[in-house]
Amino acid sequence: MGNSQKTMTTGEFSKRTGLSVSTITKMLRQGKLSGEKRKGKWAIAQSELQNRSAVEKTQELQAAGNVSRTAKPSNTKPFTIEQFARVTYLTEYGIQQWLKNGRLTGSVDPDGSWLIDANNLSRPELSHIVR
């Protein structure tokens, strides 16, 4: 990665992709995401967002058995954003973006807080986000 290329930190990449910083760091260490250390911090080329999506790379990690999966909750009670973030690799910001984009289903309670449908965790196309 050349110095003239624009880069992002793991935090910035996290906000853009909805993946947690720890997942991104793991992907960098395993070579599933391209980046380099600069002064002790990861620098990820912005072009990495276009080259291949981070979601595809997370799926590759799971296929290789490098990302742990736990049993999906059997309850049907909806999750708060905070609860859903704890059982997935998405950040709270990422969850909000996925809700806005229609990638997750949920509803807004009378207080104006999002409630994420528990059945999102059993959808095959979203299995890669479950911890």
pLDDT in tens, the chain (131 residues): 655 678 999 988 888 877 788 888 888 888 778 889 999 899 998 888 765 555 555 555 555 544 433 334 444 789 999 999 999 999 999 999 998 888 999 888 888 888 999 889 888 888 888 88
Same domain, 47 and 83: no
Q: Does any domain span residue 71?
A: no
**C-alpha span between 56 and 42 (Å, rounded):** 20
CA-CA distances (angstroms) from residue 90 to 17, 24, 29? 9, 11, 19
Burial of 42 (C-beta count, 10 Å sphere; 0-12/13-18/19+): buried
Same domain, 17 and 51: yes
**What is the model's pLDDT at position 68?**
38
Q: Does any domain span residue 2?
A: no
**What is the model's pLDDT at position 112?**
85
92 — alpha (psi -120 to 50), left (phi > 0) or beta?
Answer: alpha
**What is the model's pLDDT at position 3?**
58
Same domain, 14 and 57: yes
**What is the model's pLDDT at position 66?**
43
Count the domains in the chain.
2
Question: What domain range is 100 assigned to?
Answer: 79-129
**What is the model's pLDDT at position 83?**
92
**What is the model's pLDDT at position 53?**
53
Q: Does any domain span residue 37?
A: yes
Q: Which residue, 18, 33, 63, sits at the end of a domain?
A: 63
What pTM, to 2 d.p., does this model score? 0.44
